[in-house]
Amino acid sequence: MIKTRVRKALVQNLVTYTIAGGIVYYASRGVSWRQVAEAGDHVTIWSFIVASMVGFLCWFIGETVLYSRLFSYFHGRTEERELLPTMAAVYFLQIINSYVAGGAFILFLHVRKQVGWLTAGCTLMFQGYLDALLLAALSLVAIALVPTSPIRLGLNYAAGIMIAGGVIASFWLVWGSQLSSGRWLRWLYERPSMVSFRLARPSQCIMLMGIRSLIVVGAGLALYGQFVSFHIRVPLFQILALTPFIVAIGNSPLSPGGIGTTQLVFTMAFSKFAVKDELFALSLAVTAFNLAIRIPLGFAMGRPLAREAIEVEHELAAARRIG
């Protein structure tokens, strides 16, 4: 069983990194590697490191607070420091596979909070729903305030997500509970695993979306600092307008650690502000920093995560013996 899981994970990682490598290759077409090296030589390195570290801390601390609130709302009080080893695991595992990274949250909820596997997965899905709704709303605001931004191309997608999100919200808040018991939508509404969707209050959703908004704004400001360190002049409002799209595409499961999507977004979205060589150099620096800062987290999270995995293995072994 373990060998099968390992083999499956290796195949998934191989496919993911192959896709990421293909995206990097596509983004690098027409790039002069000599000019990429020159752009790297001219960077103000300490300015880049400070901006990148601020961006990372914004994400790490912000998401630690975000998920501690999320889990506290539906699965019992969860302190930020209690969640730190799991957050370290998530950020390390994102280099390998986004789905595996999400599994660290599920493992935490199952072992520490005695939450069922499916219920834990649905709680993460609830946060994903809020994130999608928020990024779509921020995109629409950016399109309205900065009509010259390339994000305008995503107008229809953002509007579609908002409409779909509104229908879903109305289901859980208004008419889902009023359906007759024989309908499949009522069956979905009553599932114990959907507790976060069913019990979430508007004030809780606003809090979670507010925390995510601060993370997005912080990420945009850090990105501006990274551009400045490479002496690439992009107006701050243009960067902030594109940040929701950058955040959304950067969290794609096809982008381990942002490899590929970072290069594609930088070279395409900001093409009118700098030459492709400079943008590609910056994208490589951003990806390299993300990898360098996340890899040590693997050592920090190793022992706590291993203990939780052993507990689950014992649980599953006992269940097999009973079965």
What are the pLDDT digits (tens) for 128-150?
A: 999 999 999 999 999 999 998 88
Domain of 176 in residue numbering reads as 52-322
- Asked, for residue 41, whether it belongs to a domain, the answer is no
What are the pLDDT digits (tens) for 90-112?
A: 888 888 766 677 888 998 898 88
Q: Which residue has the higher pLDDT, 308 or 157?
A: 157
- Asked, for residue 152, whether it belongs to a domain, the answer is yes
- Nearest to residue 12, comparing CAs of 103, 76, 75, 81? 103
What are the pLDDT digits (tens) for 25-75?
A: 887 888 887 888 887 778 899 999 999 999 999 999 999 999 999 999 999
pLDDT surpasses 90 at 220:
yes
The percent of residues in the chain predicted with pLDDT above 90, rounded, is 49
- Amino acid code (one letter) for 159: A
> What pLDDT score was predicted for residue 70?
97
Which structure tokens are listed for 129? 């729903």
- Asked, for residue 10, whether it belongs to a domain, the answer is no
> What pLDDT score was predicted for residue 182?
80
Could you identify the residue written with the tokens 């360098």? 292
CB 60 within 8 A of CB 91: yes
- Count of domains forming the chain: 1
- Nearest to residue 103, comparing CAs of 116, 121, 119? 121
Task: Indicate the pTM of the whole model.
Answer: 0.87
> What pLDDT score was predicted for residue 203?
95
- Asked, for residue 299, whether it belongs to a domain, the answer is yes
Which structure tokens are listed for 100? 């595996």
- Averaged pLDDT score across all residues of the chain: 85
> What pLDDT score was predicted for residue 1?
43
- Asked, for residue 96, whether it belongs to a domain, the answer is yes
- Asked, for residue 187, whether it belongs to a domain, the answer is yes
- Asked, for residue 253, whether it belongs to a domain, the answer is yes
- Asked, for residue 81, whether it belongs to a domain, the answer is yes
